Structure 1
Amino acid sequence: MSRKSTTSETTTDAGGPLVAVCQGHRCAGLRRLTGTADQVEHLQEVVKGTAGAVLISSPCMGRCEMASLVAVARRDGPSGQVGPTVWLSGLEDADRAEALNRWVASGGPQRIHQPEHGAPRCLRDAVSGFGPPPAVARRAH
């Protein structure tokens, strides 16, 4: 017997990685110059296929010296709390971009207050710093 979903059933958001990608001129230009211009589109597909993942496409993050820049944090589903971010630079590098995709697909950081936890080695080498959680507002459904 098949079970139909009803409006009284609720789904639990277990949380997941929150990824902010700089789309500023320098970051986008570096991706074009290195042949990784489609990196953001690939990351979008990974995020769509990863439970609880959220992608934020940002205009220039103002850290051009760190280009091509991505920030990653852990988002707790039930509370909506977002932990601190780890800033990753040099994501115009194809190996780093692919490592980011794999890490996000595997659930990204698993510890909300240790955003670099579980990152592949080449991403640990890309860590450029840590920052406060991004301001994310929950949307009403």
Structure 2
Amino acid sequence: MDRAQLPLSLVEVALGATLILGVALGFALGTPAPETQAPQLDAYAEDTATILANEPPRHEGASRLREIVASDAAFARERASLERRIDRILPANVLFHVRTPHGTAGTPLPRGRTTGTATVPTGAGPVRIEVWYA
């Protein structure tokens, strides 16, 4: 009895075509891009914290940040000025939230957004700055 068989070269061509198609699709579809926002946002937060930590105070204290966390009254007095200063430091498309021992300033933190953070220790407690793209 004769049995029909595929020629071996036809099987090789089919496997080769499948392999080439698979590689081509891999290149065409690619892989997801790595997360690039977080490092830039961390840099914005660190830069903002560094500027505020080294900036002279408006009234009293060793630095702008130390003046802000000196007391509840100092934070209340300086809050609007702090928000304006950070608005000038950061690019227009970046929002911020500052948390101090005496209160918060800026825009409330959104859920599910990539943020950059920086924390600066002060004598009165830590100041945490978080930034994200609008």
TM class, shorter-length: under 0.3
TM-score (ref. length: structure 2): 0.23
TM-score (ref. length: structure 1): 0.22
